[in-house]
Structure 1
Amino acid sequence: MSASTPRPGSHGTIVTVAPTGAEHAKADVPNLPVTLDELVSTAKDCERVGAAMIHVHIRGEDTKPSLDLGRLKDTVAALRAETNLVVQLSSGGAVTDPEEHRLRVLEAMPDSASCTMGTVNFGDDVFMNRWEFVVELHKRMRERGIVPEYEIFDLGQLTSLHRLLDKHGLPAGGHVHVDLVMGVPGGMAGDTETLAAALRLIPEGATFSATGVGRSSIPVMLASLSAGGHLRVGMEDTISYARGERVKDNAQLVARASGLARIAQRPPLSPDEVRKLIGVQQSG
Structure 2
Amino acid sequence: MRPLPRLMVAPNGARRTKADHPALPITDDELVAVTRDCIAAGADGAHLHLRDANGVHLLDAPRYRALLDRLEAEFPDAYLQVTSEAAGRYDAQAQRAMVRQLKPRYVSVALREMVRQPEDWPAAREFYHWAADAGVEIQHILYSPQEVQGFVIALNSGRIPGRHHLVQLVRGTYADGADGALPLADYLAEMTRASDHSFDWMLCSFGADETASLVEAARAGGKARVGFENSLQNADGSRAADNAERVREVNAALPQPASALS
TM-score greater than 0.5 by the shorter chain: yes
Distance 1:137 1:19, change over 3 A: farther
| 1:26 and 2:54 matched | no
| 1:54 and 2:46 matched | yes
Distance 1:244 1:197, change over 3 A: closer
How do 1:31-110 and structure 2 match up within 5 A?
A: 31-83=23-75, 84-106=77-99, 107-110=101-104
| 1:214 and 2:207 matched | yes
Give TM-score scaled by structure 1 length: 0.77
Instruction: Work out whether residues 40 and 82 of structure 1, in 8 Å CA contact, stay in contact via their aligned partners in 2.
Output: no
Give TM-score scaled by structure 2 length: 0.83
Shift in Å, 1:195: 0.4
Other structure's SS at 1:55 match: strand
Distance 1:68 1:135, change over 3 A: same
Cα distance in 2 between the residues matched to 1:65 and 1:268: 38
Instruction: Work out whether residues 174 and 230 of structure 2, in 8 Å CA contact, stay in contact via their aligned partners in 1.
Output: no
Shift in Å, 1:142: 1.4
Q: Letter of the aligned partner of 1:248 in structure 2? A: A
2:216 match: 223
How do 1:127-146 and structure 2 match up within 5 A?
A: 129-130=116-117, 131-132=120-121, 134-146=124-136
| 1:168 and 2:155 matched | no
Quick one: higher RCO (CA 8 Å, sep 6+), 1 or 2? 1
Distance 1:188 1:195, change over 3 A: farther
| 1:183 and 2:176 matched | no
What is the aligned counterpart of 1:117 among 111, 116, 121? 111
What is the aligned counterpart of 2:142 among 134, 138, 152? 152
Shift in Å, 1:42: 1.0
2:257 match: 266
Instruction: Work out whether residues 88 and 114 of structure 1, in 8 Å CA contact, stay in contact via their aligned partners in 2.
Output: yes
Distance 1:145 1:192, change over 3 A: same
| 1:195 and 2:184 matched | yes
Cα distance in 2 between the residues matched to 1:108 and 1:249: 30
Cα distance in 2 between the residues matched to 1:128 and 1:189: 26
2:232 match: 239
Q: Letter of the aligned partner of 2:94 in structure 1? A: H
Report Cα offsets for 1:205-226 as digits up to 9, x if no partner. Answer: 2121111112331231121022
Cα distance in 2 between the residues matched to 1:188 and 1:129: 24
Instruction: Work out whether residues 72 and 105 of structure 1, in 8 Å CA contact, stay in contact via their aligned partners in 2.
Output: no
Shift in Å, 1:40: 0.8
Instruction: Work out whether residues 174 and 206 of structure 2, in 8 Å CA contact, stay in contact via their aligned partners in 1.
Output: no
Cα distance in 2 between the residues matched to 1:64 and 1:94: 10
1:280 match: none
Shift in Å, 1:136: 4.3
Shift in Å, 1:137: 3.9
Shift in Å, 1:185: 6.0
Cα distance in 2 between the residues matched to 1:74 and 1:200: 40
Q: Letter of the aligned partner of 1:18 in structure 2? A: A
Aligned length in residues: 249
Shift in Å, 1:100: 2.6
Q: What is the alpha-carbon root mean square deviation over aligned residues?
A: 3.0
